[in-house]
Amino acid sequence: MQRKCVFLDRDGVLNRERGDYTYTLEDFEVLPGVPEALALLKQNGYLLIVVTNQGGIAKGLYTKADVMACHQKLQDGCSQLIDAIYYAPSHPNHSESLSRKPNSLMLERAMARYSIDPTQSWMIGDSHRDLEAAQKVGIRSIIVGDKYAPDSYTWQVNDLWEAAQLILREEGK
C-alpha cells in the first residue's frame, strides 16, 4: 500500500530563516505553530519528511555534526514527529548534486524507501526551488512566507499551520 506524505523544507518552514546559514543550536529556532501543525498532519495519516539543502557543508562553513545537532533539536522540539530527514550537503559552487533542490533526488529516495504515493502527497517550501523539486516528481506544493508577491502561486500561505489546514481542506476533512 502506498502512503501519503508531506515533504517539508527546513529553513523558513520549520525553523526561523535567518537570511544566512542556520547551523548553531543558539540560532536554530523552531517557528511558532510548527509542532502543532506537524501533530495535526501526523494525526491525519501523513508521513513527515524533511528535505533540505545544506550547502554550507560543502563550503566548509559548518559540519555534518552541526546539521545533525540542529535536526535533533528540531525533533526534540516537535515530539519526534518527523519520520525522516534528508539533506544535500553540496553547493553549486563546490560540487554538483542531483540531491540538491531544485533537483528531486532527495524526494525520489524517500518516495522509494517509504512507498509514497505522489498523488496524495505535498511539498511545503519557502522558495521556488522547493516547488520545482516537487513538480519533477508529480507532487503538489505549497509556498509559505512572504518572499513572493501574493497570488504568485496556486497555494500560498503565511506559515506551516496554514499549510496544514489547506492540505486537510483539499483532502476533504
Catalytic amino acids? 9, 11
* Sign of the Cα pseudo-torsion (142, 107, 56, 129, in order): negative
CA distance linking residue 114 with residue 143, whole number of Å: 24
Cβ 65 vs Cβ 24: under 8 Å:
no
Q: Which of 146, 155, 108 is nearest to 13 (CA)?
A: 146
Angle 9-22-33 from CA coordinates, rounded to 5°: 55
